[in-house]
Amino acid sequence: MKLYLKIYFSSEGKSIMDVIKLAEKLGFEPDVGDDDFVIGFETPEEYAEITEKIHKMLKGTKTMYKVSTRNK
């Protein structure tokens, strides 16, 4: 399965490039279209681990995010 991440930036927070670098360190790849990043996962445990890492990664950056999943 794939987890898609959409990030909403604020001019009061971290720069877009700083947040992109953080996401890439977690293994996310840039995605073109409605979402900003994508990462694959196999199990519910991996999903939980990824979402926890997203939350920790973005804490304090003054961004908001949306997560969605798809089979492909």
pLDDT digits (tens, 9 = 90+) for 14-67: 999 999 999 999 999 999 999 999 999 999 999 999 999 999 999 999 999 999
The closest alpha carbon to 57, from 65, 68, 45, belongs to: 65
Hunting for tokens 């994508």 — which residue is that?
Answer: 38
* Cα dihedral: 69, 9, 25, 1 (round 10): 10
Number of domains composing the chain: 1
For the chain, strand residue ranges (E) read: 2-8, 29-30, 37-40, 64-70
Domain hosting residue 65, numbered range: 2-70
Check pLDDT > 90 for residue 72.
no
Return the CATH number at 53: 3.30.70
Hunting for tokens 């997560």 — which residue is that?
Answer: 67
